[in-house]
Chains A and B, each alone.
Chain A
Amino acid sequence: MDSTVLTSLTDGAVGPSLEKARTGIPGLDQITGGGLPQGRVTLVAGSAGAGKTLLGLNFLVAGAREYGEPGVLMTFEESADKVAINVRSLGFDLDELVRTGQLVVLAFQVDPSEIIAAGDFDFEPIFAILADAIEQVGAKRVVLDTIEVIFGAFGDDAIVRSELIRLVRWLDDRGVTVILTGERGNGDNNSLTRHGIEEYVTDCVIVLDHRVSAEISTRRLRVVKYRGSAHGTNEYPFLISAHGFSVLPITSVALDYGASEERISTGIARLDHMLGGGMFRGSTLMVSGTAGTGKTSLGAHVVNAACQRGEQALMVLLEESPEQVLRNMRSIGLDLRPWVEAGLLRIWAARPAAYGLESHLAVLAQLIEEEPPSVTVLDGIASLSNGIPGTEVNTEVTSIVARKIDLFKSRGITSVVTSLGQGEDVSTVSVSSMVDTWLLLRNTEANGERNRLLFVLKSRGTAHSNQVREFVLTDHGVELADVYIGAAGVLAGSARVTQQAAERDEERRLAEELARRRRKLHRSIIEREAHLVAVQDQLEAERTEIDRIGLREGHQVADTEADRSEMAARRWADAAPHNGETL
């Protein structure tokens, strides 16, 4: 029950659901809801070199290889040999398919100078040739590339036109799924193809576009029309690579990814601590800072930590070559080479200028598709703008980076994005709202040296440190050190070391001072105690003296009395007037 509802929602088909022929181009099958209309004719229009032929070939090769649907290629552009050679570099072995009876290649070269029109004609041979080839391999797919060359070559375009309409109808009736390619018109008219053949193809029209804006080339695909089926209407970037044709149906940032509670280490213990225990798995960390602040080193740490956990990691370098980064990281004690050799770490280096923005994204998506990494570092996104100022470029770059981040998040890949930027506000690529954690590395210049400071500008879902740390690159990796806040501001580098020394000195001086004062007081106490003893001695002595005086007084009276009585006795004196008498 549920699946029925879902199917009708995604297909959006009116009436009986439309049979679809998968193109084998994952992104294209996604935006068309399963492929091209089965048994119908699809027009693929685009300018020269837009990739029409390749799309058609991809369709044929996938049909033959994966879906058991043999095919017929009728090309008016090149010889059969040339076609085979051209697509061999893309991994298509047409000869093999021809040998095994899964493909017929019919190559025609129409040379108008060789043809003289002389009267009424038709294209019955094309019908006969196609019918024969379809029968020969039991073809379910046919590509006509580019049939428009027959215009002009045979003189009477009215006949060509009516014959072409007849051919499209005939193909529709054959029940084969057909791709017609058409050259994009360059006139003022709004027709998609030079000769307006989209008018005869009513079921599905796809337009390929290859444009260059500010030196950045982007290939895009758009499904203009798809009768009876819902389809993505945006312009989607696509890529022609060694793996053929691929379309990326990522244009908006869907906010439906899960949120992990798991923390993973950045490889820098103190940074983990500052972030409240590490990054959330699947989150995006942006490191911005000026040149030479150690952004890449930080990214390398995260990668190193992932590899140490035995997880797959991917480093995307936009500014340096892999060898350069490996060497530079070794100089700070991070040897990433063993991880590369163990197959845990893949490093992809490409200047975006070499691919174009969209293609860069597409290649990245492919790398992730091939072997999903657990951690990805995207190093140097500012260079995506190719050094070209201008809001238009920045808008493009921002959109690309946003999509890359979205790509990471949708796959649950923890990512580190490094960007050249001046500060909190001046970031050339404004994707700060997309990232979960934003670290700022800043150079401070003082006392004739530059030092790196690290700030945590934001970290979603985390009580993070508000402290500034000094970011020190040592020969054993990155270390974070406390900084000193002095009268002249934040101190880092040798100023920090000086400050540490000065503080040690100050402590020592203080300690000595205290010791001195203690000693002095001790001395004083001893002195005063000695004095106190002396005074007490004196006091004692005086008390003793007083006692002695008292005693002596007593004795003296008694003696006097005694003496007097004795004298009286000797003198025979009367006892009477006792006290009135003086001597």
Chain B
Amino acid sequence: MSEPQPANDWTGAENDEQWDLCAYVTDNSPKGQRAIENLRRACEEHLAGRYQIEIVDVLKNPRRAVADQILAAPTVVRRLPAPIRKLVGDLSDSDRLLIGLQLRSSGSQHDDC
């Protein structure tokens, strides 16, 4: 639904920046699968070639959840670039996903609407 908007694309300026993302999901729950799908789509769209996504199954590795302070699932953590951001939910709301990851500044929301 959203096309790349170079003027507002926050990442457009620094194309060489690497993105390090981590998705915490529970097993094969539909919510988790949806979240991963939504995240991948957004990344392909905005960060093609310069992102990586780690997927952690919290049920298999609860101590990672403790260490990374994860209470809800699915949770996507933007580890890089700083600062750390946490997105909670299945990321079905793509506006919030893009704003949350700061793939788009919140100001551009008005342009979209």
Contact = CB atoms under 8 A, between A and B. Distances in A.
B73 A124 contact: yes
Given A128-B26, A131-B62, A116 B87 contact: yes
A123 B96 contact: no
A418 B59 CA distance: 65
A122 B100 contact: no
A541 interface: no
19 contacts: A108-B71, A114-B86, A116-B87, A117-B87, A118-B87, A119-B38, A119-B90, A119-B96, A122-B29, A122-B72, A124-B58, A124-B59, A124-B73, A125-B24, A125-B70, A128-B62, A131-B62, A133-B62, A155-B88
B85 A154 contact: no
Contacts of A154: 72, 88
Interface residues of B, number: 34
B100 A121 contact: no
Main secondary structure of the interface of A (DSSP, over half): mixed
Contacts of B58: 124-125, 128-129
A110 interface: yes
B71 to A, nearest CB: 6
A123 B72 contact: yes
Given A115-B88, A154-B72, A120 B31 contact: yes
A133 B89 CA distance: 25
A162 to B, nearest CB: 13
Contacts of B34: 119
Given A124-B58, A128-B59, A118 B85 contact: no
A128 B35 CA distance: 19
B7 interface: no
B24 to A, nearest CB: 7
B89 A119 contact: yes
A280 B89 CA distance: 74
Nearest to B90: A119
Contact of A108 (B69, B74, B90): B69
- In the complex, which range does the number of interface residues on chain A fall in? 20 to 34
A117 B71 CA distance: 13
B98 to A, nearest CB: 10
Contact of B74 (A106, A121, A129): A121
Contacts of B59: 124, 128
Find the residue from A110, A119, A154, A155 having the highest chain B CB count within 10 A: A119
Contacts of A120: 31, 89-90, 92
B62 A118 contact: no
A131 B95 CA distance: 35
Interface string B77-88: 000000011111
B66 interface: yes
Given A124-B26, A128-B26, A116 B100 contact: yes
Contacts of A115: 86-88
B85 A114 contact: yes
B88 A125 contact: no
Contacts of B70: 125
A324 to B, nearest CB: 54
A521 interface: no
Contacts of B16: none
A108 B67 CA distance: 9
A126 B71 contact: yes
A489 B107 CA distance: 96
